[in-house]
Each structure stands twice: as C-alpha cells, then as structure tokens.
Amino acid sequence: MAAHRCGLSLVFILILSSLACPSSCDALEKANENTGEKQSVSDTPREVNTDGSIAAEDLNERQWQSTDVEADRSDGTKDSESFTAAARDQFQEELVIRPLHSGDIYASFQFRTLWDTDFLQERQKVSHYRLFPKSLGQVLSKFSVRELHISFTQGFWRTMQWGQPFIPSPPGAELWVWFHDTVSDVDGNWKELTNVLSGIFCASLNFIDLTNTVQPSASFKPLGLGNATDHRFLRYATLPREIVCTENLTPWKKLLPCGSKAGLSVLLKSEKLFHSSFHSQAVHIRPVCQDEQCTSKAWELRQTLNVVFDLYTSGQGKKEWSLFKMFSRTLTEACPLATSSKVYVDITDNPEGELFELSPATPLLSQAVVLGDRRTYSVFDLTRAEMFGQLRSLNLLLRWKGDTLTTQSDMLRPLLHAERYVAGFGLQTGEIHTVIYNNHPYRAFPVLLMDSVPWYLQLYIHTLTVTSKSRDNKPSYIHYQPAKDRHRPHLLEMLIQLPPHSMTEVTVQFERALLKWTEYTPDPNHGFYVGSSVVSALVPSMVAMNTNFTQDQPLFSSFVPVKEESSYFVRVYTEPLLVNLPTPDFSMPYNVICLTCTVVAVGYGSFYNLLTRTFQVDEPSLPLAKRLANLIRRIRGVPLLA
C-alpha cells in the first residue's frame, strides 16, 4: 500500500513542483515487491491521499478526522489482511507530544507488536519469530507467564504540574507478573524470572526476593484477557533505588523490530533522554483480543517510553521546542516493518493557535477520549512520504506565543492526587503520612490504596487512622499482612471512599528495627528506601468514555480496558520514602576503639574479677514447694520445715 501511496504522491509532486521522488520511496517500492500479497490492502488509503492533496493546496484549512471513521476503514483492511496468513504479527509505532503548561514538554513513545500465537501451548513450541523478540517469547513460555509488566523510571512524575501520564510508573524499577494458573511453584518461577529479566534488561532485578515481593489481594488485576483473578498467581515488587541509564535503554531498544535504525526509534538517543526531568521506559506483555468479536487471543507487547524535557535545562529557557532540540534528531522515515507510524501533538488547549504555533501544519486532526477527557491531536502520518517535505525530514516545531507561560506558577488541579512523607524525629519511631486529594467538586469516588513496607520498619497497625475532612473515614475493606523479619514485607491494602473536594490522610506509626551488621548497604547513611504506595481509583469522567475496546484506537488511549462510560481507571504512585535507620559507625577508628574496649573488658575485666573475688560454699536451697509451704507456715506461726 505504501507503493501506491508513494506512486500517487509522486505524480502529484511532479505536477506541482517537478521534484524528484525521495529515495526512500524507491526503497519502499522495492520492499513491496517481495511482499506482493500485501497489495490487496492498498485500496483503502486513497481517500486519505486525496485529503493530502487538498491539504497541500490549502494548508490552513483543517480537516476533521475522527478516530472512529479511521477505525472502520482499517477494519476493512484488517479483514483482508487476515486472509493472508503470513502477516500474523504486526507492529505499530506512535509518538505523542503534549506541551505542558509549565513550559516543559512531554513526549510519550509507544511501540506495539501484536502476534496471534499462543506461547503457553504445551503441544507445539513456538520457534519461528518475526517481529516479536525471541528473548521475551522464550521467557513467556518457559515460565508460563500470563502477563508481565516491567518499568524502569528515573525521576518522579509531578502530577500537580504535568497532569496524568498515559501509563504511570513509580520511581525505580517495578515488576508485576501474573502467572498462568497451571504453575505449581510460583515463588520458584518468580525468582528465576527476575534473574532472567535482570540479564535481559541489565538491571539489578535479582535483588527482588521474598523480602520485597507481595501478593496484592485487590490491586493489580490483570490488564489483559482472562477471568482468573486468584491473587496467588500474582507477584508484585518494586526496587525504588534502581538506577536507570543507557545500559537499560540499550537492551530495551534492541527488542524493537527496527532497533534504533529506522522509524520513531531513531529519536531515542540516551544523551538527550536522560537529560530530562522524568524518564520512564516500560515493557507490557499481555493477551488481548484478536479482533472485535474477541473470539481468540493475541499477544501484545507494548514498549513505552515517557520523557519530560525541562524548560530550563533542556530548553535553555526558550519557549520553543522542536524534535531536533528534544532528541537531537529529526524523523526521516517510518519503520518499514510498521503498519502504522504516527506522531500526535496535543492541541486541545490551542484550537485556534492562540497559545503556541505548530509547524509544519498538518490538516489531519484526531480526537480521542483519554483519561476522562476529550483531547484533540494533530496527526502526522509517517507512512506518507509527503509528510517529510522537500528536505526529506520532519522536524516538528512548537513555539509558544508571547507571555502565555506567565501562569506557570499555577498548579493544575488533577481530580486525583496523592503524596506521602515520613514524620517524626529521632531514630526510633516515626509515622508515615499518605495524603490523597479528591479535587472533584461534587462526586465521591473509591480508591484502593496499596502499601508495601519493608520489614525493618515495624508498623504499629493499631495506630492506623484514616481521616477525611477531620472526621474518621472507615475503610470498607482492609487487607493487612504483617511482615516477618527477613522473610516478607508488610502489605496493607485499603478501599477508601473519598468524599468530594476533600483531603484524606492515612497515618500509621512505625518503629525502626536494628539490622545485623552484614545487612547494611555499603552506604547505609544514605538511608533506606520504601517503595511508592499505589493508589488505584475509578475517577468520574468528564465525558463518556469509549467502552468499545478495539485495537484501532490510537495506542495511547487503548491501554486500560474501559468497562463503564461514567468513570475511568487510573493509577497514581506517590513518592518513595527515604528513611534513616539507626546505623552503627562503620569507620576504622570506631572499630579500633570497639575492638580494644572488648579486649580490655573481656581480658582485663575477667582477670581482675578473679583476683578480687572471694569464694564461699553456698548452702543448698530448699525446693520450691517447701519454700512456698514455709511461707504460709511463717504466716500461721507454725514451725518451719527443714
């Protein structure tokens, strides 16, 4: 289909400006000769092409393209595609750019590989891999994984300044896995899986063991298909201290079908990505519906990367952004293996271009309901050659106008927001405060708070209080699993109803435990981390959510399945905590003093004791019964027993 599109645009461009066809066009045509059967698909995008030509004549006129229409169209193509059985896997890539009111910019990459195969079938081993990475496929089948979510994050997502991210993640590393219910030794599988993943992603995931793994009873329901929700097959762990750097990005990029060679992934240069306020990369694997009827499963691998560039450190304080400024690269082509490759720019707050200016202008607009809000996006379809213009490269430019950023001190007021801190003084006791805000003016909604606290903070669960509007708010469900020293962490889950426009505070006191001296980290004075608490909520939606969960929505709006129109599911992570534990002085002078004192106390002390002590023969004492009897006899004035 690319060939037809290319050909048409070739004719068109020749007429208009007598330019030569881009060289990438040739390459695409050649590639298409090999896959002849794909041409049956090529009829549909012609309409789009005429859109393009009109657009070229009148760039200012905008055309509305709703995602629904697009979905219908691609349905047709999907059916015809499904007959050619070769293409049983497909790849999509997407970049969403959301200018933030603080002047920062949020870029979210999503890469999705869909494959209708079954890793868990015992009969046949899956051995032929095309787009799906083999390293992950083998892991899925070996450990009978039903669903796997792993994220590596550096920095903390500031909900008050940036709003909600598309897919949230806590600082550090987070891993949660649903195993298939045929697994007998879940803990053994989990241990091995973490070791294997630590090799794949070059991360210290092998530090995940029983002391930081929990089995949430109500949080973290499976995001993919399936109705088994027995939490014995769920494992959840976070490593809040995990560092994220190029060595994690490199293997992550290698999982992509195009690597970092073509398509959107050429933008992923570590020097820029890590020079940011927030960086998060994740891999989500789950079974999803193959088609709209949802009669059979397909495996979905979703690789996401979210990054927020800071106005001052990356943007030098100038209120203008471009792809080149953000990533030090521009886009030149779509990934040849991708069925769709799109860039979306969020222009909801900027319908007439009063806030910022976007160039090159695109005639295609798209609307999507995401996170309870209807957003408008400018769409750049990279599979169309004319997107890249004469320079054969696309460098989106986004320039804020005038002093529109003066209001940057204003905080956003997201409907749901949570924060957490440690209170108290000294090194013996303390108190964890978790504050959850409901900023909805008139609707109450339920949230599920999950806390996993390491065993060395001994929670006093009787001090647990939940107050909202200075009144006691009794949770309707509490699940508490106490810790066992050196074996498992505390797990606290609570279902709390948040009153409208309120602040709910959850406090619990704890005592710090003394560790054995080998259990301290090499830098114990840095403190010990407690992972983020997780707030899962059903937030009332401003607009009707799209419950029709199909694959043809843009990727960013189709991650969490929506069950009802009136509310949407969202997960909010709080800050991780850094707690100081009583730490012995590990320095050399201290140890020397300790050692000398011990020698003096034991050696000299016992010797001196021996010399000065006098020894006497002790009289044998009466048995206990007789002594008791004597006690009573003494009171009665009767002669005592001998």
Partner 1 sequence: MSHDFLQMHLKAVISCLLIFLYKVHTTKAGQFFSSGHTNNWAVLVCTSRFWFNYRHVANTLSVYRSVKRLGIPDSHIVLMLADDMACNYRNPKPATVFSHKNMELNVYGDDVEVDYRGYEVTVENFLRVLTGRLPPSTPRSKRLLSDDRSNILIYLTGHGGNGFLKFQDSEEISNMELADAFEQMWQKRRYNELLFIIDTCQGASMYERFYSPNLMALASSQVGEDSLSHQPDLAIGVHLMDKYTFYLLEFLEEVHPASQANMNDLFKVCPQSQCVSTPGHRTDLFQRDPGSVLITDFFGSVRKVEITKDTINLTSPVEPPIQRSGSGDIQIESLTYVDQLPVAEIIHQKPKQKDWHPPDGFILGLWTLILLVFFQTYGIKHLKHIF
Q: Which two tokens stand for residue 295?
A: 């009669």
Cβ count within 10 A of residue 103: 20
What is the residue-wise DSSP string for 455-519?
A: TTEEEEEEEEEEEETTEE---SEEEEE--BTTTB-EEEEEEEEEPSSEEEEEEEEEEEPPPPGGG
* Residue type (1 letter), 432: I
Minimum gap (Å) between residue 308 Cβ and partner 1: 14
Structure tokens at 273: 């990505």
Going by C-alpha positions, the residue among 299, 247, 234 that lies closest to residue 273 is 247
473 CB-side CA count, 13 A:
21
Q: Which is nearer to partner 1, 441 or 522 (CB)?
A: 522
**Helix/strand/coil for 142:** helix
Element (H, E) at 421: strand 416-423
CB of 246 to partner 1, least distance (A): 5
Q: Nearest approach, Cβ of 268 to partner 1 (angstroms)?
A: 10
Rg (CA), the chain: 31
Q: Which is nearer to partner 1, 107 or 398 (CB)?
A: 107
Q: How far apart (Å, rounded) are the C-alpha atoms in residues 50 and 21?
A: 18
Ordered DSSP codes for 546-577: -----TTS-GGGSSSPP--SSEEEEEEE-PPE
Q: Cβ closer to partner 1: 446 or 500?
A: 446
Q: Angle at Cα 467 formed by Cα 465 and Cα 468, nearest 5°?
A: 165
Handedness of CA 545, 171, 177, 140 (dihedral sign): positive
Q: Give min distance, CB of 206 to partner 1, in A.
A: 7
The whole-angstrom separation of Cα 415 and Cα 407 is 20
Residue 355 CB, nearest approach to partner 1 (Å): 30
Cβ-based nearer residue to partner 1, 200 or 508: 200
DSSP label at residue 600:
I
At 269, list the tokens: 């240069």
Cβ proximity to partner 1: between 183 and 560 the closer is 560
CB of 277 to partner 1, least distance (A): 11
Nearer to partner 1, 195 or 390 (CB): 195
CB 577 within 8 A of CB 454: no
- Closer CB to partner 1, residue 521 or residue 596? 521
For tokens 């690269």, the residue is 329
Question: Of 424 and 524, which CB lies nearer to partner 1 in the complex structure?
Answer: 524
> Is the peptide bond between 360 and the residue preceding it cis, with omega within 30 degrees of 0?
yes
Closest to partner 1 by CB, 390 vs 547, is 547
Residues that bind partner 1 (CB under 8 A): 85-86, 88, 124, 128, 154, 191-192, 195-196, 198-200, 202, 204, 206-207, 217-218, 221-227, 229, 243-247, 250-251, 269-271, 273-275, 289, 293-297, 446, 448, 476-477, 495, 521-523, 536-538, 549, 560-561, 563, 569, 586, 628-629, 632
Nearer CB in complex with partner 1: 480/608: 480
Closest alpha carbon to 260 in 269, 271, 273, 248: 269
Amino acid at 523: D
> In sequence order, which residues have a C-beta less than 8 Å from that of residue 284 and are 6 or more positions away?
148, 149, 150, 167, 223, 300, 301, 302, 303, 304, 559
Least Å distance, CB 424 to partner 1, is 26
d(CA 492, CA 479): 6
CB nearer partner 1, residue 143 or residue 400: 143
Q: Are 121 and 427 in contact (CB under 8 A)?
A: no
Residue with Cβ nearer partner 1 (271 or 403): 271
Gap between the Cα atoms of 381 and 378, Å rounded: 10
Nearer to partner 1, 198 or 408 (CB): 198
Phi, psi of 509 (to 5 degrees): -95, 155
Q: Which residue shows structure tokens 């409901």?
A: 438
Distance of closest approach, residue 101 Cβ to partner 1, in angstroms? 25
Residue 68 CA, chain-centre distance (Å), reads 28
